[in-house]
Structure 1
Amino acid sequence: MRSLLFVFMALSLAACGRLEQVGKAPDFNTVEGSDEFFAMNSPPLPEDALRQTRAQEASLWSGNRGSLLGDRRAATRGDILTVVIEIDDKAEISNTSGRSRKSSDKMGIPSMFGIPQRLDAQLPEGATMADAFETGSSSSYKGDGSVARKEKLTLRVAATVLDRLPNGVLRIQGSQEVRVNFEVRELIVTGFVRPEDVSQQNEITYDKIAGARISYGGRGQITDVQQPRYGQQVSDILLPF
């Protein structure tokens, strides 16, 4: 009873938090305090600043990004690049398996030093050792399985360089929220990229991001209607049938 009371109280508290959003559009997540905001407000790394200074001293042309020949690709903490997500995957798997087995055994002792004849006299009428036993068995199995999956997604999102690892790899993170009426569409991208994979347009495709984590979803009234109620989710977990 105490466990059920605890679960009921937890569900009630969660429901109270959702009741505050009734009749209101879902709020955006604040940008301040996020990893992206911290990276953009942090000074550049010492090795990057030193590299830029040496490049300017060794060249007749200005090496800053605002110049005509400057490299505007993301390279250090706080820089921004564009992640291009174009997923068009299709997979089809089909398996068929079958098995069949049939066996038959027969054994008899028509004569063996006269022993079968003596045993026949002791057996019930009609029984004889000439056909001691006969068995037969058969089994068959057939299974079919198929999987068909197709995904298509085209998105673009600006990501911020959070850190530059000792080997030069950049750790990036990007988030985007768009609110339409009472529904917020959320897009989150994280991963690791090599600076040389960033194009001259300061873009990188998702297939060049190591450890890519792409989340595309939403929250709001439509999403709430599509999800089972808390009680249904709890019963699906607890009930054994």
Structure 2
Amino acid sequence: MSQQLLMIEDDARLAAMVAKYLEQNGFTLATAGDGASGLARLTAAESTAQPELVILDLMLPDMDGLEVCRRIRALPSHLAQIPILMLTAKGDPMDRIIGLEMGADDYLPKPFEPRELLARIRAILRRKVDGPTSTGKALRFGSLEIDRDARTVTVANAARELTSYQFDLLAALAERAGRVLTRDQIMEAVRGRELEAFDRSIDVHMGRIRAAIEADPKNPKRILTVRGVGYVFARQQD
């Protein structure tokens, strides 16, 4: 059975080309020409027809892709956790940083090669299915609990919202608590190493994770930056 995707893109010719290419490679692509219809299609879908990934253009006629991304992440959890691949303007790193901060899982600059789009989709879906290595037990660090089977994060029993990719990053660090990991090692741990990542993407995601789990994100106690190297998850208990 082919995997269902949703593309929110106002360029009908591009959407048709992408749909044809992805269908040749085992996917079914639904399309929407603006943000409102994309959100409506997403929220109206039956549970069996919900897309497994959203391809979201940054520039849309009714609202920008950042607003669409924000609204998706504010939906009920089964929809809010759907991975988002954002299409951004080539050579504009600020758009990419803002997109990641708003909750996108990855980005692809326009114009792009269909083969790269396909590779990024497969990598995101592979991370979603596999994630980091799991022992089937929740990780607990004081008030912080990371349930790898349910893919949930709580602090003092209060749920904290993370994207699928951010959950994988947090779990990968927590499973290696006390070890300093480079950005490349972190990427490899979440099975994204086969694609070249935007230099600052890991840093942006770490900022989002800190905002979710740290009492004071500006003075983190759990996810620490090791200058010139990468990050370490502290073993400290609350």
Q: Normalising to structure 2: TM-score of the pair?
A: 0.23
Q: Which one has the bigger strand percentage? A: 1
- Kindly indicate whether structure 1 or structure 2 has the higher relative contact order, using CA contacts under 8 Å at least 6 residues apart: 1
TM-score (norm 1): 0.23
